[in-house]
Amino acid sequence: MTELVFLQDMVVILAAAVAVVASLRYLRLPSIAGFIVAGTLVGPNAFGLVQDLHQVELLAEFGVVLLLFGIGLELSLSRVRRLWRPIAVGGAVQVGATILVVLGLSVLFGRDIRSGLLLGFIFAVSSTAIVLAGLSTRGELETPHGRLALGILIFQDLCVVPMVMVIPVLGDTSSAGTSVLVPLLTSAAVVAGVLVAARLVVPRFLEEIARTRKRDLFVLSLFLICLGTAWVVSKAGVSLALGAFLAGLVVSGSRYREQAISDLVPLRDVLASVFFVSIGMLLDLRNVLQDLLPILGLFVAIIGGKFIIIFLTASVLRLPSRVGVLTAASLSQVGEFSFVLLLAAGGTGLLEEPFQSNLTVAIILSMLATPFGLALGPHLAAGLGKLTPLTRLLQVRTIEEMRETEPLQNHVIIAGYGLTGRNLARSLTQMGTRYIIVDLNTENVRDAARQGEPASFGDVTSAEVLEHLGAAEASELVIAINDPDATARATAAARLVAPDLRITVRTTYESDVKRLEEAGATYVIAAETAAADAIIDRVRRNIDDGPEDKSEQSYS
């Protein structure tokens, strides 16, 4: 009857997840928060509807493997190469600074260095699954703070390999300090070996499978690559999840990436939801009430400490304060890999009870708070682009400095100097129309300034910045930035500053149009709608032109 009990537990888990997530939808909370709450309710520490956590944990681990494989698929090695600076610099600064700060505070509060180093490892990692899901839902993966968050997360995930291998050395008091080099070199060799071997084998293997034109065989092959790579890597002491992530990166480099994503997404999402439910099951509300102050202390230390460190990391990269705040708000939790690290530390005696239990609860609470942090971030970041000391540090021209020498009247304000902003500026130049460019990306501002463009650094969501841009005297404001929330805030702020201003807004999705119109936009152009219109127009023209002459076409 064990199978029936397991089936019953799965029915309870899925039913609770559906009910809670559907209920929280009216509060506009993300699904991940609902899964964690559902796990808390059905777990043995609340209503006790699910008692056998072992079976659920096994399925949840399988879900994490598929989740990280899917994340690797969606990233692709080429995208990782484009993010080299956030990964190499941002990730290294954030992880290194977090470990050093936590180590220093641990020693200050009487812990030994080995225990402090373990805590540094745990605090350094954020939740790849929760953050990427949240940013993707909000359409912010391609925003500046989304790219920085993604780069730091990739570095953190790769760091889990040496961390897991170093922990047994920390727990072995008889080992020499130089023995730490062995697991570090081993982990580097494992990652390099897997990437090189898979890079040579996987594309050819998938090519042969694809020739059979059997979809079920293709899906089975994907599972073989995912689970096989994870298993091989785990034999070297590396986590299953990270092995799956590496396998996903390798498959993403082949031309079968899109089909792989399509085939895996439904099952991945179901099993990933089980993982988040299993995290909620670890939360014991009675322990929370009993040790409320220590848990809240750890929770505040996690959120506050990581927020400050990540904000300073963005400053080291000379990114705008708004980007720093939004990135810090998204990454200030401790992630799922912390449980991998805690599991690796089991039996080492590095963390005593009840501290470890309180830490586990604080980690879960920090993960549960992430969706709220993502929603609160834009409010914290509002108006930060007008900070003069920061703009001088970033070596960009401020709006105030520009207006001192260049009075503005009947001009076009271009917010965002990406592809749309560049093309618009070129067209306005040809028309002889005056314009001013404003952007929070310092690289864009410096590039525009080197080309002689009237570009300045500023946060267009700030009413004060808009006043300095001469919004009341402008003929039009064009907002072309890759941040849906910032676009809405900028639109609302511009409408308050200049009630009669013509505001043209570019957005990615049709679903954002109503929101932006309510914020005060005069015209909203959705990229997906424009693409659909172009396709419809092309097809109509093709039909009007008549069928092509197929007499010379041949098919193999």
**In Å, how far are 426, 427, 449, 450 from 431, measured between CA atoms?**
9, 6, 20, 22
- Looking at the chain, the domain(s) classified CATH 3.40.50.720 span 386-542
In this prediction, residue 395 carries a pLDDT of 45
Q: What is the mean pLDDT of residues 200-226?
A: 85
pLDDT tier at 402, thresholds 50, 70, 90: very low
Q: Rounded to an integer, what distance in angstroms lies between the CA atom of residue 261 and that of residue 292?
A: 42
Of the candidate ranges 3-17, 26-40, 88-102, 208-222, the one whose mean pLDDT is the lowest: 26-40
Q: Rounded to an integer, what distance in angstroms lies between the CA atom of residue 482 and that of residue 251?
A: 28
Phi, psi of 51 (to 5 degrees): -105, -35
Q: Which residues, at least 6 apart from 194, have a Cβ–Cβ distance to it below 8 Å?
A: 229, 232, 233, 243, 246, 247, 250
**In Å, how far are 48, 119, 320, 433, 522 from 341, measured between CA atoms?**
27, 10, 33, 59, 52
Residue type, position 3, single letter: E
User: How confident is the prediction for the chain on average, in pLDDT?
Assistant: 80
Of the candidate ranges 10-14, 140-144, 280-284, 400-404, the one whose mean pLDDT is the lowest: 400-404
Stronger pLDDT, 181 or 319, i.e. the higher one:
319
pLDDT at 146 over 90: no
| Domain 2-173+181-381 grouped into CATH 1.10.3720.10 | no
Q: What is the 3-state secondary structure (H, E, C) of 326-363?
A: HHHHHHCCCCCHHHHHHHHCCCCCCCCCCHHHHHHHHH
**In Å, how far are 45, 52, 128, 191, 232 from 275, measured between CA atoms?**
17, 15, 13, 25, 22
Residue 256 and residue 87 in contact, taking contact as beta carbons nearer than 8 Å: no
Phi, psi of 347 (to 5 degrees): 85, -5
pLDDT per residue over 86-116, tens digit each? Answer: 888 999 999 999 999 999 999 999 898 999 9
Where would I find the H helices in 76-127?
77-82, 84-85, 92-108, 113-124
**In Å, how far are 4, 82, 217, 500, 549 from 522, measured between CA atoms?**
59, 35, 52, 10, 45
Flag whether the pTM goes above 0.75. no
Residue 457 and residue 385 in contact, taking contact as beta carbons nearer than 8 Å: yes
Of the candidate ranges 57-66, 100-109, 220-229, the one whose mean pLDDT is the lowest: 57-66
Q: What is the mean pLDDT of residues 450-466?
A: 82
The pair of three-digit structure tokens given for residue 253, joined into one six-digit string: 């480099």
Residue 440 and residue 385 in contact, taking contact as beta carbons nearer than 8 Å: yes
In this prediction, residue 208 carries a pLDDT of 86
**In Å, how far are 40, 334, 363, 449, 480 from 303, measured between CA atoms?**
21, 8, 10, 38, 32
Residue 375 and residue 29 in contact, taking contact as beta carbons nearer than 8 Å: no
Q: What is the mean pLDDT of residues 213-235?
A: 84
What are the strands, taking DSSP E only, across 343-416?
412-415
In this prediction, residue 476 carries a pLDDT of 93
Stronger pLDDT, 228 or 556, i.e. the higher one:
228
Q: Rounded to an integer, what distance in angstroms lies between the CA atom of residue 218 and that of residue 244?
A: 17
In this prediction, residue 534 carries a pLDDT of 86
Least Cα distance to 286 among 115, 465, 40, 516 occurs for 40
Q: Rounded to an integer, what distance in angstroms lies between the CA atom of residue 522 and that of residue 502?
A: 6
In this prediction, residue 387 carries a pLDDT of 47
Q: What is the mean pLDDT of residues 536-553?
A: 72
In this prediction, residue 77 carries a pLDDT of 63
Q: What is the mean pLDDT of residues 374-379?
A: 80
Q: Rounded to an integer, what distance in angstroms lies between the CA atom of residue 377 and that of residue 483?
A: 12
> Per the CATH hierarchy, to which homologous superfamily does domain 386-542 belong?
NAD(P)-binding Rossmann-like Domain (3.40.50.720)
Phi, psi of 506 (to 5 degrees): -105, 135
Q: What is the mean pLDDT of residues 256-260?
A: 77
- Looking at the chain, the domain(s) classified CATH 1.20.1530.20 span 2-173+181-381
Q: What is the mean pLDDT of residues 344-354?
A: 81
* CA contacts within 13 A on the Cβ side of 109: 8
pLDDT tier at 58, thresholds 50, 70, 90: confident
User: Chain centroid to CA 468: how far?
Assistant: 33
pLDDT at 303 over 90: yes
pLDDT at 394 over 50: no
Q: What is the 3-state secondary structure (H, E, C) of 243-272?
A: HHHHHHHHHHCCCCHHHHHHHHHHHHHHHH
Rounded to the nearest 5 degrees, what angle is found at the Cα of 173, between the Cα atoms of 171 and 179? Answer: 85
In this prediction, residue 301 carries a pLDDT of 95
DSSP lists the bridge partners of residue 477 as 413, 503
Q: What is the mean pLDDT of residues 426-450?
A: 85
